[in-house]
Amino acid sequence: MKKKIFFILLSVLWMVIIFSFSQEPAEESGETSGRLIILIGELFNVSDKELFALRYEVILRKCAHVTEYMILAAFLCGASYRKNRSLGINMALPVLISALYACSDEFHQLYVPGRDGNITDVFIDTAGAAVSTALITFIRVGINRKNKER
């Protein structure tokens, strides 16, 4: 029970973090992404950092969406998992909660200066959640099979 409460708290904390990222006005969010992409360009010794930033900032931002929701779904897997529940429900619940949160997050962005709600981002977020949930389930099933063989 303590483990479940721990994962619930992590899930809520992570939702607050996602909300705070979404609360940033577009200009501030763009500056953060820009600084990060330039840092990545420096790490890889890119000669034209401005061109690199123009080309890859969108990819970086979409990867951030995937990563945010992979983490959220991992926490939700810990919070919602039950041994006596079917595999399908154990997998669907974290993805569904993540998708609903992604919808609410994009709706929230409609009211943030310079930002907009984007259905594509909801799909990207949900895909990240689905990948994370599938990986965790695959690992969990593998561990359970190994334990049964002993």
pLDDT, position 51: 82
Residue 134 and residue 142: Cα distance in Å, rounded?
A: 12
pLDDT for res 47: 85
Q: What is the pLDDT of residues 53-104, one digit of tens each?
A: 788 888 888 999 999 999 999 999 999 988 888 888 889 999 999 999 999 9
Res. 25: pLDDT tops 80: yes
Residue 85 in tokens: 């529940």
Report the amino acid identity of residue 37. Answer: I
Does 118 have pLDDT greater than 80? Answer: yes
Does residue 9 carry a pLDDT above 80? yes
Q: Where are the domains of the chain?
A: 2-149
